[in-house]
Amino acid sequence: MDYEVIKKPESKEIKPAPNLGDYEKARREVKWVDVATDLDWFGDGKINIAYEAVDRHIHSHRKNKLAFVWEGKDGTIEKYSFYELSRASNKFANVLLTLGVEKGDRVFIFLERVPELFISALGTLKIGAIIGPLFSAFGPDAVKDRLLDSGSKVLITSPQLKSKIEDILEDLPDLERIVIVNRDGEEVELGDKGVNYEEEMTEASEDFDIVKTDKDDYAIMHYTSGTTGKPKGVVHAHEAVVGHYATSKYVLDLQENDIYWCTADPGWVTGTSYGMFGPWSNGVTQIIYEGGFNAKKWYHIIENYRVTVWYTAPTAIRMLMKFGDELPKKFDMRSLRYACSVGEPLNPEAVIWGETAIGIPFHDNWWQTETGCQMIANYPVQDIKPGSMGRPFPGIYPAILDDSYKELPPGSEGHLALKAGWPSMFRTYWNKEDMYNSRFQDGWYITGDKAKMDEDGYFWFVGRADDVINTAGHLVGPFEVESSLIEHPAVAEAGVIGKPDPIVMEVIKAFVSLKEGYTPSDELKHDIQKFVKKKLSSAAYPREIEFLDSLPKTRSGKIMRRLLKARELGLPEGDTSTLEE
Ligand code: AMP
C-alpha cells in the first residue's frame, strides 16, 4: 500500500525554528571541518569527548544548567548540573589513576542505568582510557566474551550484577580491578581485586587535568553481532563527538531549552551517541529513566518532565500501539514537539500512528554501531514518506551498489554503502583488522544492509544483505512482508525468513505472534495469507505461517530472523548472547 506523504510544515509554522532550515543548501555546502569548529578542541587541535560534552559548558552560561534528571526504578530522583557532572567525573578520573589505569586501557562498565554509569564513563574518557558499556541484562558468557576480547583492565559493576558473573571473573587474566558501585549499601565481599566506589570517590580530588587526546585516539567500544562468529568490538575515536554533536543538532533538532529523552541503554550505541555525547555536547538537559518499557510509565515521564524531544525505537512504538490510542490521550503530551526512531525498520503505520495518537509523526533515521552517528534521516523541514529512512545527513554520501560495487540508478535494490571517511566512522574491530578492512571496497564502506533509493533521494530499507528472500526469481524484502503482516488486525509481531524450497528456491515463512483476544487457527492463518497476498503480491505472501507466543528478539528489540531461520532449519543457533530473556 502506498502511504500518503506527510508534508513538511510551512517553515514559519515550526516552532521553535529548526536548526536545519534549508536541507538542500546544507547538503550542497556543508563540510565536516566547518562543523567541527563549533566544538572547543582545547583551542589547540586536541579533542576529548568528555570535555566537549560536559566540561566546556562549565565555562559558559550552562554551568549550573541541569545535564540530567535521573529517575530510578523505585522513583528516586537525582539531578546533576553540568558543573556537578564535571566535578564527579573528575573525581572518578582520579580514582582510576590511583588504580593504575592509563591512556588506552579498556574500562568496561556493567551497571544498571544509574548516575554512576554516566559519571564513570566520563571519568574514564577524561584519562584517555577506552569505555566499554555493557548492557546490564547480559549473562556471564556475554560479559566474559567481551572482557576477554577487549582485555579490559577494570570492570565497574554493582554487587547484584557482580554476583551474576562471579564464576567467570577468574577466567579474565587482564582484569586487574573491579570497582563496586554500592548504591544500596549492601554488605559486600570486595576480594583482592575489589574497590569500593563510594569510599574512593569520597577521598578523591575534584580537580583533574583532562587528558588532551588526539582526534584518532580510541574512546568507545561497543560489541555488535555479525552474521557469523562472536560479537566484535567496534571502536570509535574521540573525533566521533563531532558526528554526535552535529546529528543531535540537525537530526534530533536539539535546542537550548529542550528536555530530551532517549530510551536507549548505553549498553548499545544509541545510548552513548544519543544518550550521552550528542545531547550533552549540545548542552541539552536529558531525562534518564532507569526502568524499562512500561506504556503508562513512559507516557507519564513525557507528561511529568515536559519532555520536548523523544528518541525511541520501532519495537517500543509498536508496543505502545498495542496498548491503544486512548492511553496516550489520558496524559498531557503537549510538551512533545519532535519524535525520532531508530534501530530497525519503522513501518509506515507506526509513523502515522505517532500523528494520530501523540500528535506528531515519528521521524525514522538509519545508522549502525559502525557508523557511530546517524547517516540517513528524516528532518523537520522535509516531507516524510512513511516507511522511508529518509535522506542523507549533509556531509554523508550513501549510494546503492551492485555486487561489483558499482553505483546503481534510483529504484534499484542493492548494497547500501557510504563513502568512507566521516568523523564518527568506526576505526577498527578490536583485534580484527582484516575483518575491518573487508568492510571497505573501492572507497565505500559496505553496510551489510540492502536498500534502494527513489527518484527524490529517499532511502528505503530492504533488509540485511543476507536476509533478502529470493522466491521464484523475485527478490522479496522480509520487512515488506512483516509490515504487511502487522497491518492485519490479529497480528502483534511478525518475523519472516526465506525457507529453502526445491522448486522456487525459497518460500516465505512467517512467524507470527497474535494480539490479545486472538487464538491460532487454520482459518486465521488463511485469512492472514489472503490479507498479505492481496496487499503485496502473490509472490510475496507467506506460504507458511507459524504461530508463536512471542518472537525471539535481541535485547535492543530487534526480531532475530537469523534465530528463527536456524530453528526452522534445525541448524546451530550461533551466538545468542544478545537474545532477550
Ligand atoms: P546496530 O549496529 O545494532 O545499531 O544495528 C544496525 C542495523 O540495524 C542496521 O544495519 C540495520 O540493519 C538496522 N537498522 C537501524 N536503523 C534502521 C532503520 N531506521 N531502518 C531499518 N533498519 C535499521
pLDDT for res 581: 55
pLDDT for res 466: 65
Calculate the alpha carbon distances from 98 to 79, 208, 210 in Å.
Answer: 27, 13, 15
Does 225 have pLDDT greater than 70? no
The finding on whether 366 has its CB within 6 A of some atom of ligand 1 is yes
The finding on whether 345 has its CB within 6 A of some atom of ligand 1 is yes
Mean of the pLDDT values across residues 109-122? 98
Q: Which of 416, 449, 462, 479 to mutate to test the pocket of ligand 1 (most atoms within 8 A of CB)?
A: 449
β-pair type (474-476, 259-262): unpaired
Q: pLDDT exceeding 90 applies to what percent of the chain?
A: 77
pLDDT for res 226: 46
Per-residue pLDDT tens over the stretch 466-509: 676 767 645 577 887 888 899 899 999 999 999 987 676 678 99
Q: How far is the centre of ligand 1, averaged over its atoms, from the C-alpha of 345 (Å)?
A: 7
Q: How far is the centre of ligand 1, averaged over its atoms, from the C-alpha of 450 (Å)?
A: 11
Question: Could you give the angle at which helices 522-535 and 478-485 cross, rounded to 10 degrees?
Answer: 120
Mean of the pLDDT values across residues 249-262? 98
Does 228 have pLDDT greater than 50? no
Q: How far is the centre of ligand 1, averaged over its atoms, from the C-alpha of 456 (Å)?
A: 22
CATH of domain 11-21+33-449: 3.40.50.12780
Mean of the pLDDT values across residues 378-406? 96
Contacts 24+ apart (CB under 8 A), 469-473: 469/496, 469/497, 469/498, 469/506, 469/508, 470/498, 470/505, 470/506, 471/498, 471/501, 471/504, 471/505, 471/506, 471/507, 471/508, 471/539, 471/540, 472/504, 472/505, 472/539, 473/505
pLDDT for res 478: 85
Per-residue pLDDT tens over the stretch 36-88: 999 999 989 999 999 999 999 999 999 999 999 999 999 999 999 999 999 99
Does 112 have pLDDT greater than 90? yes
Mean of the pLDDT values across residues 533-543? 78
Lowest average pLDDT, out of 13-22, 58-67, 208-217, 408-417, goes to 13-22
The finding on whether 464 has its CB within 6 A of some atom of ligand 1 is yes
Burial class (CB in 10 A: 0-12, 13-18, 19+), 268: buried
The more confidently predicted of residues 533 and 425 is: 425
The finding on whether 251 has its CB within 6 A of some atom of ligand 1 is no
- The C-alpha cell that represents 544 in the structure block: 507458511
Per-residue pLDDT tens over the stretch 139-167: 787 788 899 999 999 999 999 999 989 98
In the chain, CATH 3.40.50.12780 sits at 11-21+33-449
The more confidently predicted of residues 381 and 578 is: 381
Cβ neighbors of 329 (< 8 A, separation 6 or more) are: 357
pLDDT for res 504: 66
Calculate the alpha carbon distances from 386 to 342, 362, 383, 559 in Å.
Answer: 14, 9, 9, 21
Q: How far is the centre of ligand 1, averaged over its atoms, from the C-alpha of 418 (Å)?
A: 14
The more confidently predicted of residues 540 and 513 is: 513
Confidence of residue 464 (pLDDT cuts 50, 70, 90): confident
Stretch (H or E) spanning 510: strand 505-514
Per-residue pLDDT tens over the stretch 449-463: 899 999 999 999 987
The rounded distance, in Å, linking the Cα atoms of 149 and 131 is: 14
Tell me how long the chain is: 581
Q: Are 67 and 85 in contact (CB under 8 A)?
A: yes
In the chain, CATH 3.30.300.30 sits at 469-569
Nearest CA, atom 20, ligand 1: 345
Give the SS3 label for residue 500.
Answer: strand
CA 456 to the chain's CA centroid: 27
Q: Are 319 and 344 in contact (CB under 8 A)?
A: no
Other beta carbons within 10 angstroms of residue 579's beta carbon come to 16
Q: Are 327 and 303 in contact (CB under 8 A)?
A: no
Per-residue pLDDT tens over the stretch 548-581: 999 998 877 788 888 999 999 998 877 777 666 5
Residue holding cell 512500561? 294
Indicate the DSSP class of residue 536. Answer: S
Q: How far is the centre of ligand 1, averaged over its atoms, from the C-alpha of 449 (Å)?
A: 8
pLDDT for res 9: 80
Per-residue pLDDT tens over the stretch 318-376: 889 989 999 999 999 999 999 999 988 888 999 999 999 999 999 999 999 999 999 99
Cβ neighbors of 110 (< 8 A, separation 6 or more) are: 134, 136, 138, 143, 155, 156, 157, 161, 165
Average pLDDT score, the chain: 92
Mean of the pLDDT values across residues 1-23? 84
Write phi, then psi, for 17 (nearest 5 degrees): -55, 135
pLDDT for res 540: 75
CA 357 to the chain's CA centroid: 24
Q: Which CATH architecture has domain 469-569?
A: 2-Layer Sandwich (3.30)
Q: Are 333 and 320 in contact (CB under 8 A)?
A: no
The rounded distance, in Å, linking the Cα atoms of 273 and 266 is: 8
Nearest-atom number in ligand 1 for the CA of 448 is 10
The rounded distance, in Å, linking the Cα atoms of 259 and 284 is: 7
Confidence of residue 227 (pLDDT cuts 50, 70, 90): very low
The finding on whether 212 has its CB within 6 A of some atom of ligand 1 is no
